[in-house]
Structure 1
Amino acid sequence: MSAVTSFPADARPLLEVRQLSQVYNLNRQKLFAPRPKLKVLDSIDFSVRPGEAVGLVGESGSGKTTLTRMLTGVERPGDGQVLYDGVDVWTGGEAHRKLFRRSVQVVLQNPRSSLDPRMRVGTSLLEPLRSLKIEGDHGTRVLEVLDQVGLDKNALERFPHEFSGGQLQRIAIARALMPGPKVLIADEPVSALDVSIQAQVLNLLKDLVRDLGLSLVFIAHDLSVVAYTTSKVYVMSSGKIVEVGKPLDLFRTPQAEATQALVGAVLSVEAGLAGNALA
């Protein structure tokens, strides 16, 4: 089941990239030889509207990580634009950059590596507010966000090693929610979790999109996971967007070779019983 859309069909994109390209200079093979170049993104167009859940899938090396760095403002594109609320992130001025940093937050793949093991959860949750210099009742905000991710206040005094993987990912999501973002970028948020826990985190993300009106960018290599969480999917391959469509359409009638490969890699109970899943 894909996510239910709850946004106006004619809404302007909240986060968007236009004709985005990126080229990296590689090490010289010989002393006086020119440095070879690697094009990792090639004229990418991508957007997510208010309240929309969008998926981005592709095999390893397709360019998803580089595009994520652009979407979060970590890396400046070599060519093209990154727009937040219709304004270029890199040329719109410091006030807009500050708004962008607060409004676009990311949840990473491995919560154990994204949380400081020496820091209590309560302190970790306050870090985004302090770094972004957000004023207000921080204590009330912490309790509000904990409730949104299904944790109680007892978690605040504990350290990351005291939690399971699923609980840690809820804490990582809570920390991303602390500044009150408009866009949540989830980069492989369930790939490091047990299968039994993955559905809980996916359902939490769907609930947050519905209840908070968040825009969600869900990045993964597993088309079935993205299809469950999003209403539109972009397929990447070799630094390009090769196909865009609704999840069920991509499952049933994939057009691009890369999409066909992703669909063919999805394991199912029926395929397993037929002896086809790992053939």
Structure 2
Amino acid sequence: MSAPLLEMRGVSQIYTLARQTLFAPKPRLTVLDKVDFAVGQGEAVGLVGESGAGKTTLTRILTGLEQPQEGQVLFEEQSVWAAPPARRAAFRRGVQVVMQNPRSSLDPRMKVGTALLEPMRSLRVEGDHVARMHEVIGQVGLTPAALERYPHEFSGGQLQRIAIARALMPGPRVLIADEPVSALDVSIQAQVLNLLKDLTRDLGLSLVLIAHDLSVVAYSTSRVSVIASGRIVEAGPPMDLFRMPKAPETKALVDAVLTVEAGLAGTALA
């Protein structure tokens, strides 16, 4: 792989918790422990782990919402937190995130068109915003009529397409999808995953797909990292992880994936 577009090097994040008793020292919780993670230009990579593994904290650090206590976050080989204001602005435009529940990330009082324009204004992106809005709404498979409607008028799958469209508005180079299908019906999940794959290919985007289900990231990415207790315990091509998992945590994730044939019987992937 060429030089990574977005990278974490040796990132650790430790939170100080409340005291259990008056004179006891404050306990410390290590959420990330010397994590290395990277995505190259046009690459689709996955991060998978069970709840509490550190995926959310890693997402917040990758998107610049949280500064790591140790290690570096690099965008285009430059430190995000040591960069001058112009580079920080380029990073905020260049890395966008799609959250798990689109209903909670869209203002119910705001029409879809207005919601799509918000990141352009807040990030001070120049250009024809209205033309860009019509372009991205078509890229996610919706018609311009959707721009005049409110979020409550859409299904969950349509709302996730709108959330993806909003993330595309500033013209990002990296799209981070944090559990993008876990809140959707099974019949809709494949549609959204196919959309993400098509956008990655057609727009030359880099995709970071974060999930707790190994089968979801295996379907959509070419390289997967497994995180457990704040550490990357295994990484490689998804089918290698399916067929020859080495870490106990990876084996547990593989065992939790049901095949179509064995699903009704309640048995896991062999």
TM-score class normalised by the smaller sequence: over 0.9
Structure 1 runs not aligned, ≥5 long: 1-8
Aligned to 1:142: 133
The residue type equivalent to 1:69 in the other structure is R
SS of the residue 1:190 aligns to: coil
Instruction: Check if 1:61 corresponds to 2:52.
Output: yes
**Aligned mate of 2:201, from 207, 210, 215:** 210
SS of the residue 1:248 aligns to: helix
The residue type equivalent to 2:171 in the other structure is G
Instruction: Name the CA distance, whole Å, in 2 between partners of 1:131 and 1:84.
Output: 20
Aligned to 1:81: 72
TM-score, length of structure 1 as denominator length: 0.95
**Aligned mate of 1:50, from 36, 41, 51:** 41
Following TM superposition, by how much is the alpha carbon of 1:122 offset from its aligned partner in structure 2, in angstroms?
Answer: 0.3
Instruction: Name the CA distance, whole Å, in 1 between partners of 2:151 and 2:260.
Output: 35
Aligned to 1:169: 160
Contact 2:258 2:266 in 1 (8 A): no
Aligned to 1:39: 30
Instruction: Name the CA distance, whole Å, in 2 between partners of 1:277 and 1:56.
Output: 21
Instruction: Name the CA distance, whole Å, in 1 between partners of 2:240 and 2:97.
Output: 28
Instruction: Name the CA distance, whole Å, in 2 between partners of 1:276 and 1:200.
Output: 26
Over the residues paired in the alignment, what is the CA RMSD in angstroms?
A: 1.1
Aligned to 2:250: 259
Aligned to 2:189: 198
TM-score, length of structure 2 as denominator length: 0.98
Following TM superposition, by how much is the alpha carbon of 1:193 offset from its aligned partner in structure 2, in angstroms?
Answer: 0.3
The residue type equivalent to 1:34 in the other structure is P
Instruction: Check if 1:114 corresponds to 2:102.
Output: no
**Aligned mate of 1:184, from 175, 194, 214:** 175
Instruction: Check if 1:22 corresponds to 2:13.
Output: yes
SS of the residue 2:4 aligns to: coil
Instruction: Name the CA distance, whole Å, in 1 between partners of 2:195 and 2:98.
Output: 13
The residue type equivalent to 2:146 in the other structure is A
Aligned to 1:237: 228
Structure 1 stretches of 4+ moved >3 Å:
none
Instruction: Name the CA distance, whole Å, in 2 between partners of 1:108 and 1:50.
Output: 22
Following TM superposition, by how much is the alpha carbon of 1:94 offset from its aligned partner in structure 2, in angstroms?
Answer: 1.1
Aligned to 1:6: none
**1:199-230 deviation per Cα after TM superposition (whole angstroms, max 9, x unaligned):** 10000000000000000000000000100000
Instruction: Name the CA distance, whole Å, in 1 between partners of 2:51 and 2:261.
Output: 26
Instruction: Name the CA distance, whole Å, in 2 between partners of 1:53 and 1:275.
Output: 31
Structure 2 runs not aligned, ≥5 long: none
Aligned to 2:217: 226
Following TM superposition, by how much is the alpha carbon of 1:270 offset from its aligned partner in structure 2, in angstroms?
Answer: 2.1
**Aligned mate of 1:13, from 4, 7, 17:** 4
